[in-house]
Amino acid sequence: QKMRFESKLPNVGTTIFTVMSGLANQVGAINLSQGFPNFNPSARLQQLVTDHMAGGDNQYAPMPGLLSLREMIAAKIDSLYGVGINPDTEITVTAGGTQAIFCCIAAFVRPGDEVILLEPCYDSYRPSVETVGGIPVVHQLSAPHYQVDWNVLSKLITPRTRMLCINTPQNPTGTILRREDMAKIDAMLRGTDVLLMSDEVYEHLIYDGEKHASALCFPELYARTLAIYSFGKTYHNTGWKTGYCVAPPELTREFRKVHQFNVFSANHPMQAAFADFMADPSEYLGLPAFYQHKRDFFLQAMAHTRFKPLHCSGTYFQLFEYGHISNEPDLAFCKRLTTEFGVAAIPVSSFFSDGKDEKVIRLCFAKTDDLLERAGKALEKV
């Protein structure tokens, strides 16, 4: 019997990341498409995981996460952002940022509720909203600056708006929301019941002396915020899928209702290892300099190509315009870069739900210098 059902996500196919990484592997291209480091996390951190496994931390962790880890997270937030967060009632450890984003949307968005997205954005937001029957409402940003038009954005807020999703530093644009931008969001949402999903997974990947403006720093804004973080970005282990959500107690309570039936808890030995490892803040305090060096090294490696770099204030992504080189649609262009020139990139149109093609590609510079150098050389031929 052929089962009849209507897809909840009719427009979702194989993601562009799977497509481009697959193509890169097939032709042996340098893969700067998907966002992950090609180097390992700290050897000490790996050893800590091994030790915790050997020591027996192999069964379910507590539903909200290990308290020792949540205490370390609270201490870090206090030292970085100067705000007191209660580890017991305001922090939940998750199976990565993506799972936290899904839970935060599923916990609050009902069928017919509107959720405002700033596109181009991380590709999990829209399907998460659609899975639970919400309606994505898009404020579209444009190259080369991808600046928010506050007037346009504020007009999208209606009595049906349940949530606004922001991401700073933003994937794929590399732009950031500064203190004054966050203050505008704070003012814009006052008097409404709109929640804020503040995706801050790249909080430490911020350059040129810029300071990350966390939603946690604005007391009134925080009352409506669920802020999302990922250890994968901070400690070079995207495959460990561990992150956390910070939200006031009333919101955390609802978040955990979904989280506990979604995964129940995140993996235990990694949590125990992160709790130990976070005692030394030097690793994350050194990240801005570490990745700024990579960004600058990569820009140098690309300096003799015809690609035009856009300004990157944060994340480990660098955008390049190529409209003066070719008229090809960005997807076709990226495929050709992979097959003919041996470097895989992501077309930025794939981060727009309407496929807006501004002839911009995204390259990930979370790679060893030799690979970045080789990529630059290869792209000189374009």
**If DSSP codes are grouped into helix, strand and coil, which group holds residue 295?**
helix
Asked whether position 31 contacts ligand PMP by CB under 6 A, the answer is no
Cα–Cα distance measured from residue 23 to residue 127, given in angstroms and rounded to the nearest whole number:
24
User: Whose Cβ is closer to ligand PMP: residue 97's or residue 309's?
Assistant: 97
| Shortest CB 96 distance to ligand PMP, Å | 3
When binding is defined by CB under 6 A, the residue of 136, 232, 288, 314 that contacts ligand PMP is 232
**CB closer to ligand PMP, 174 vs 243:** 243
d(CA 221, CA 160): 19
Among 29, 35, 266, 268, binds ligand PMP (CB under 6 A): 35
* 199 forms part of the interface with ligand PMP (CB under 6 A): yes
The CB-side HSE value for 235 (13 A sphere, CA atoms) comes to 26
Q: What 3-state class would DSSP assign to 279?
A: coil
Amino acid identity for residue 40 in this structure = N
At its nearest, how many Å lie between ligand PMP and the CB of residue 167? 5
DSSP state, residue 174: -
CB of 124 to ligand PMP, least distance (A): 7
Q: How far is the CB of 42 from ligand PMP (least distance, A)?
A: 18
362 residue type, one letter = R
Under a CB-based contact definition with an 8 Å cutoff, are residues 174 and 311 in contact?
yes
Closer by beta carbon to ligand PMP, 205 or else 371: 205
The rounded Cα 126 to chain-centroid distance in angstroms is: 14
Residue with tokens 């996500």: 9
Structural tokens at position 66: 């290990």
Among 96, 120, 269, 314, binds ligand PMP (CB under 6 A): 96
Whole-number minimum distance, CB 164 to ligand PMP, in Å?
15
Helices (H), the chain: 16-27, 43-54, 67-81, 97-108, 125-131, 150-155, 179-189, 219-222, 231-234, 249-262, 268-277, 282-285, 287-301, 330-336, 369-379
> Is residue 201 a contact residue for ligand PMP (CB under 6 A)?
yes
Provide the minimum distance between the beta carbon of 316 and ligand PMP in the complex, in angstroms, as a whole number.
9
Which of these ranges, 73-81, 94-102, 141-149, 280-288, lies near ligand PMP under the rule CB under 6 A? 94-102
- Please identify, among the stretches 48-56, 85-93, 95-103, 324-332, the one whose residues bind ligand PMP according to the rule CB under 6 A: 95-103
Nearer to ligand PMP, 87 or 172 (CB): 172
Using CB under 6 A as the binding rule, the residues of this chain from 97 to 136 that contact ligand PMP are: 97-98, 122
Report, in Å, the least distance between residue 274 CB and ligand PMP: 13
**In the complex, minimum distance from the CB of residue 305 to ligand PMP, in angstroms, rounded to a whole number:** 25
10 Å Cβ neighbour count for 333? 21
Report the Cα–Cα distance between both ends of the chain, in Å, rounded: 52
User: What number of other Cβ atoms are within 10 A of residue 8's Cβ?
Assistant: 11
Among 37, 87, 174, 243, binds ligand PMP (CB under 6 A): 243
CA distance 189 to 110: 19
Here the tokens at position 198 are 């503040």
Is position 238 an interface residue for ligand PMP (rule: CB under 6 A)? Answer: yes
Only segment of 58-66, 96-104, 140-148, 189-197 that touches ligand PMP (CB under 6 A): 96-104
Q: Where along the sequence are the contacts to ligand PMP (CB under 6 A)?
A: 35, 96-98, 122, 167, 171, 199, 201, 230, 232, 238, 243
